[in-house]
Structure 1
Amino acid sequence: MTTIRVRLTLIYSGLFLLTSVVLLVTVNLLLSQALHTRIARFPMPAPVKPVKPVVPGEAVRGVPERPSPPPLPRLVDDVVGYQWEVTVLTVGILTLVSLAVGWLVAVRILRPVHRITATARRLSLSNLHERIALTGPKDELKELADTFDAMLDRLERSVEGQRRFIANASHELRTPLAVQRAAIEIGLPEDVGEIRDKLLFHNRRTENLIDALLVLAQAEHGLERSGPVALDEVVRLVLAEGGSGHVTVTARTEPFVVDGDPVLLNRLVTNLVDNAVRHNHPGGTVEVTLAHGILTVRNTGPEVPWERFGDLFEPFRRLHTTREQGAGLGLSIVASIAKAHGADVRARPNPGGGLELTVAFAGHRDRSRKTRPVPEVL
């Protein structure tokens, strides 16, 4: 694949060499023709008789005649041949010079394009405030950079509007549900316990669904705040607060600090552990490991067919449809939070059933740096 820089270099060099060769060849041809024309106008000298050889003992009569000079046409051919040799050497030198100059010119012309490309690669939802701010003459590249900056302005306003909508929706949706739950718990008598429990179950399920959707939307819109977070402390806090029930949970962690949002990272670990506990069987195990920046959650449980692995991280996809299952957003939220933190999420089956979910974070940071406090509630 040929880059634009190489193509521009070849175009500049080709045009320069073409004009140079045409110029030199034309000059040589015209020079050769002019010399032959001028020489043809000169009168040709009379032929010179050959000098008689001197015989020893014979008297020399007169002065011996000088040999005739070489003919002028041969001299013209020598001059034109030398001119062609110089032309070939000059074209070779110009080829190297034109390639070097063409490369430098292409680099200089494409420098603004590289700046635009670097900015586009660096941008994400967490740094939409950055701009190219290209300076220089108002040419096509300046117009392209200004158009890109204007597009970023519109995109930033749109993202900020969506974030405000998420915050407002979080308040407006959670408040009536909380009031509804309180009314059910206080207003309904004890003799309608089955109906009361069913209403409370659906109320909590709706709250969990709304909370999951809001977290998913927040993760997909990038990080509003970022700072060093001790991920090992997050794992220990989640395991200390969560209930394992009929499943044995073991953990092995080492100090690891990642740049991110402590609330979202807490939710990522919570969803992984909750998914491992929920999709398990009585007496099963869950192993949580954090080593070398890789968080691994491995559990026992039912086998997952290979054809269903593509559905694990899709929203509202459930492998089972029991009453205890959630809305199918747990691993979708994990994938979105990991993507917002530049991490990679993978899943593979365990021999005998269950899953192994891994989240590989990008970099390791010094634990001695000041970290952000881990929230104790979600």
Structure 2
Amino acid sequence: MSVHATLRRSRLSIRLRLTLLYGGLVLACGIALLTSVYFLMRYIPDYAEPKLLSPGDSHEALMPPSAVCPTHIAAPSDLIVSKDDFLTMLLRVYGVALIGLALVALLLGWIIAGRILAPVHRITQTARTVAGHTPDERIHLDGPHDEFTELADTIDTMLDRLQTSFQAQQRFAANASHELRTPLTTMRTMLQVAAAHPQDHDLAILAPKLLATNERSIATVESLLLLSRADHGMNDTEPVDLASVAERALEQVHNEATAGRVSLRGEVHPVHLRGDQDLLHHLLINLLYNAIRHNHSGGIARLTIVARDDTAVVTVTNTGELISAEDADRLFEPFYRAGTRTRANGHGLGLALVRAIAQSHHGTATATPNPDGGLTTTVILPATDP
């Protein structure tokens, strides 16, 4: 066990510290009160001098006749005949009361500290349960809105987000394994069949199939590497003319749009920002490919880039099949495909890359389904002066 852990174990519990704090405060207030009363009673009032006792007199001589009882005489230590006797008795009685008050304060402090810290124990127990591989457990602390309920609600929200993130990571790992295993399995099957029956296979036919399958695997791996790069943020940035990057992207996807009989339109205004030009190019390319490949013959894909309130707003709108709002948001998950997208050309990482690149540039990426079909994807990035 480390020295730090040993020191932590040797410290007093919070409950005991609160108890000592409450009791100490009561004790300190009592001592201050006793001291104040003592000095006030000693120096402020005027005390009449007591009758001097002769050698033959007793204490009863100073007492009123009604106070003298033949069957009971108070002990001389309890008899007050002078100012010093009064102050001594005051200290004695007040000291006994102060000790009793301190003990009661410690007991009440222990009980109150336990009640105050009960939510903390519940939070700790829930955290231990979650750490013990029960991620569905939540605190759900009841009671008035205070610091403890706010802390519990914050932890519940954090646990919800962590669970969502863990589930997304699990889906990502499973989907990535599937995407990489499928082409490799396909290539192995083709090679095994060709090796078993070489006379029935022509290399000129087999080679292009193996090459296409291999290129699909390479594209998936490159996309995963690009996604990892975007998720880890940018180390270096440079001024980027987004309009120029958009013009090159439109030119790059023009042939595929023509082959798919999709009308490609662009409305690009000058916008400048700081970022990674290569990543921003991939962002626009993936947006355009998504709009072209998930479209129908005779459809439209439109790219618009404008500057608005110190931001660069990139909007890509396309026609196509009807998409629900839930599916529109889930399209940003890696490998998620909705509707006919499962049969479209691609590996399900396009919009995931778009969102990751946008977030690495301190921006946002959202998608909204169009009423007549298709999708409108909007990326907002912080812009700079030229």
- State the TM-score, normalizing by the size of structure 1: 0.50
Higher helix share: 2
